[in-house]
Copies of this chain bind each other. A is one copy, B any other.
Amino acid sequence: MKHIAILGPGLLGGSIALALRNDIDVRVSMWARRVDAVEEAKALDVADLVTTSLEEAVTDADTVLLCVPVGAMSGIVSQILPKLSPDALVTDVGSVKGLVCRSLGPALKGRAHFIGSHPMAGSERAGIGAARADLFQSAVCIITPEAGDTSTVAIQRATALWERLGCRVRVLTPSVHDQICAMISHLPHLSAAALVNTVEALCPEAFGFCGTGFRDSTRIAGGLPAMWTEILLSNRTAVAESLRRFISILESAAEQLEGSDPSAEEEMFQFLNTAKTRRESLPGQSR
């Protein structure tokens, strides 16, 4: 029987536990820092063992999944090191990979098989109460080996784990992962928050007229502020680069609106048409 230790009882940790709940050949242990989080996970019956003891959770684990905020990972890894089997796979679910892999890779070298993972599934809802067994179905999971530092065993076992959870696995280096996520996830988060804050600054009464367009455009601004602050600052270089390009594209649009150049109409049309055409060709586009 395999033993998977899930460290962290949030939306992702809880959903992984639920997805594995009916696998009779897998024993799942879950660690939570707070006693009330342990009680909540127990009430939902997500794992065979739920405990506040890291040592108890990881003892004899074949696989350890770090499902805590990015900033908490290295502290937890140093605590579990003495209990890790050298054959264990250690991976994480953090949204930022460069910082995580630079910290955990060396810490775990020779002590376990480490590889970074980023299952691209989530919700603006947080916590184990929002966990779903099917959260990862058809989601992309990016795993991030580093050339020369990541074992083939780690790549193979992480791939098998995420595929078992329903993911399509893609492989990127940590730094390419972070550049891509800056564009498709972190920048849209900033943009959504800035849209809300623009209305708040200019005319809060306008919120009373919001329709589905505004709601959809800003949905992700409902994410946990503390978690997103950490994500954005952990990936600050790549996020800033995307944001600067975004601002420069918006500046061009502002100049078209403010100027009296008769080409503004054609330029605005091209700008909108490029976006529409590109968006409609997104893979797996369903709406």
Q: Which residues does A use to contact B, with CB under 8 Å?
A: 120-122, 139-140, 142, 170, 179-181, 183-185, 187-211, 213-226, 228-229, 232-233, 236-237, 239-247, 249-251, 253-254, 257-258, 264-265, 268-269, 271-276, 278-283, 285, 287
Contacts and interface: CB of A to CB of B under 8 A. Distances in A.
Given A222-B276, A272-B229, A250 B191 contact: yes
Chain A interface, >50% SS class: helix
B180 A203 contact: yes
Contact of A257 (B139, B185, B239, B272): B239
B221 A275 contact: yes
Given A189-B213, A225-B273, A232-B268, 11 more contacts: A183-B198, A187-B198, A190-B253, A193-B271, A195-B246, A202-B245, A207-B278, A218-B279, A222-B279, A232-B257, A243-B254
9 contacts: A184-B214, A194-B275, A196-B274, A196-B278, A207-B282, A217-B217, A221-B272, A225-B276, A243-B250
Contacts of A246: 194-195, 198, 250
Given A120-B209, A232-B257, A200 B247 contact: no
